[in-house]
């Protein structure tokens, strides 16, 4: 039987109890205040925030990142896995994987409908391995999504969230 109190010390104050933030770094969770200019690498958090806010600073980050997506399959996979966390922006997202037993070819398809883009984003990739098809589909999907956001094919009436600097100083980025 376990004792609760001074001797048992099960209130979480013991030295070996796990604390929430082990590394000391706190990931920025608010997309409106994310600093895209200081982010120089391809990051899942930065790319997801940029796709959701679509401010001018975020669009600059997306434009810088698009050529490097081919070498960052893991980041693309993380972006796709975290997109459903924004149900107000992503209305439909599904992945379909198939295998042709005769030709031994794997097909990976991704379909997404967003509230801020007109039409859907669709990708279908074939490869000889399941992992290769999935990675290629994730890269192609994120690249196509970024290119559509950069092209400005947005749904009429849906405006992106502005960066706080742009709200206070709208002529700063002209």
Token output for 37: 């200019």
pLDDT band at 95; cut points 50, 70, 90: very high
Token output for 97: 């994987």
The secondary element (H helix, E strand) that includes residue 110 is strand 105-114
The pTM for the full model equals 0.69
Dist CA 19 CA 113 (whole Å): 39
Nearest CA-CA partner of 140 in 155, 154, 153, 127 = 127
Dist CA 19 CA 41 (whole Å): 29
Pairing status of strand 105-114 against strand 120-127:
antiparallel
Nearest CA-CA partner of 115 in 139, 82, 75, 149 = 149
> Which residues have C-beta within 8 Å of that of residue 98, sequence separation ≥ 6?
106, 107, 108, 109
Q: Which of 26-30, 87-91, 121-125, 153-157 has the highest mean pLDDT?
A: 121-125
- CATH 2.140.10.10 is the classification of domain 32-156: no
- Please tell me whether residue 105 adopts helix, strand or coil conformation: strand
| pLDDT tens digits for range 115-170 | 888 889 999 999 999 999 999 999 999 999 999 999 985 555 555 444 444 444 44
């Amino acid at each position: 039987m376990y004792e609760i109190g001074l001797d048992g010390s099960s209130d979480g104050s013991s030295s070996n109890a796990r604390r929430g933030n082990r590394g000391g770094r706190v990931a920025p969770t608010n997309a409106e205040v994310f600093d895209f200019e200081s982010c120089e690498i391809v990051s899942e958090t930065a790319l997801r925030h940029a796709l959701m806010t679509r401010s001018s600073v975020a669009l600059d980050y997306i434009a810088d990142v698009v050529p490097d997506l081919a070498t960052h399959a893991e980041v693309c996979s993380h972006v796709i896995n975290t997109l459903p966390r924004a149900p107000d922006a992503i209305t439909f997202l599904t992945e379909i994987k198939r295998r042709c037993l005769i030709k031994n070819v794997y097909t990976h398809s991704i379909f997404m409908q967003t509230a801020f883009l007109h039409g859907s984003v669709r990708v279908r990739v074939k490869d000889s391995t399941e992992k290769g098809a999935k990675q290629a589909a994730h890269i192609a999907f994120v690249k196509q999504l970024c290119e559509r956001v950069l092209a400005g094919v947005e749904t009429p009436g849906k405006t992106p969230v502005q960066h706080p600097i742009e709200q206070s100083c709208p002529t700063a980025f002209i």
